């Protein structure tokens, strides 16, 4: 049985990806899911919810000393967020590459932020920045029974060896 935060000690990881309220409002959910899906990553958890300011503050706890923290909490709790767990080889690091830089203005075209948004305070998507924060964030947003395991026969076409 795969632990719900992913297989420890391997590159076969899980990451927490969230479409922020602006991404959901702008109807970018399908576009964003499509990019992770087409890459070959596997969706193992998904739900939509409207975070409380307390949940948002907990999620961004490491940034609480930043001047933009209050605005960030307000932004993240301003509407519906699509919370997801994606699984695959090096998905934490590669997921961040698919997303782009924190500031959309510095994100290359082809990345999600580079293609779909303009300002750092409205950058439409969150992705875990390390396997440790991925584990913490999956545990914060999902219950153990809300993340699934399934084998896909397709994986032999995505991975040379599994």
- Partner that binds at residue 53, options Mg ion, ligand IDP, none, CB closer than 5 to 8 Å by kind: none
Give Cα separations from 134 to 115, 116, 149, 159 (angstroms). 24, 24, 17, 22
Binding site for Mg ion (CB under 5 A): 129
Minimum Å gap between C-beta 9 and ligand IDP is 24
Residue list for the binding site for ATP: 20, 68, 96, 102, 113, 123
102 binding ligand IDP? (CB under 6 A): yes
Residues from 106 through 135 that contact ligand IDP (CB under 6 A): 120-121, 123, 126, 129
Beta bridge partners of 89: 12
Q: What is the DSSP string of 51-83?
A: --HHHHHHHTGGGTTSTTHHHHHHHHTSS-EEE
Q: State the sign of the Cα–Cα–Cα–Cα dihedral 142, 22, 112, 56.
A: negative
59 binding ligand IDP? (CB under 6 A): no
| Annotated catalytic residue 50 | no
Contact between residue 134 and residue 41 where contact means Cβ atoms under 8 Å apart: no
72 binding ligand IDP? (CB under 6 A): yes
Catalytic residue among 24, 107, 126, 147: 126
34 binding ligand IDP? (CB under 6 A): no
């Amino acid at each position: 049985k795969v632990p719900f935060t992913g297989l420890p000690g391997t590159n076969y990881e899980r990451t927490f990806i969230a479409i922020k309220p602006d991404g959901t409002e702008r109807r970018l959910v399908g576009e964003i899911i499509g990019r992770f899906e087409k890459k070959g990553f596997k969706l193992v958890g998904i739900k939509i919810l409207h975070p409380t300011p307390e949940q948002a503050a907990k999620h961004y706890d490491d940034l609480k000393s930043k001047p933009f923290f209050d605005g960030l909490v307000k932004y993240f709790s301003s509407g519906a967020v699509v919370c997801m767990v994606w699984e695959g080889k090096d998905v934490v690091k590669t997921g961040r590459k698919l997303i782009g830089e924190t500031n959309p203005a510095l994100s290359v075209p082809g990345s999600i932020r580079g293609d779909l948004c303009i300002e750092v305070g409205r950058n439409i998507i969150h992705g875990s920045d390390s396997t440790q924060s991925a584990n913490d964030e999956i545990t914060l947003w999902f219950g153990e029974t809300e993340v699934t395991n399934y084998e896909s026969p397709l994986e032999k076409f995505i991975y040379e060896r599994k």
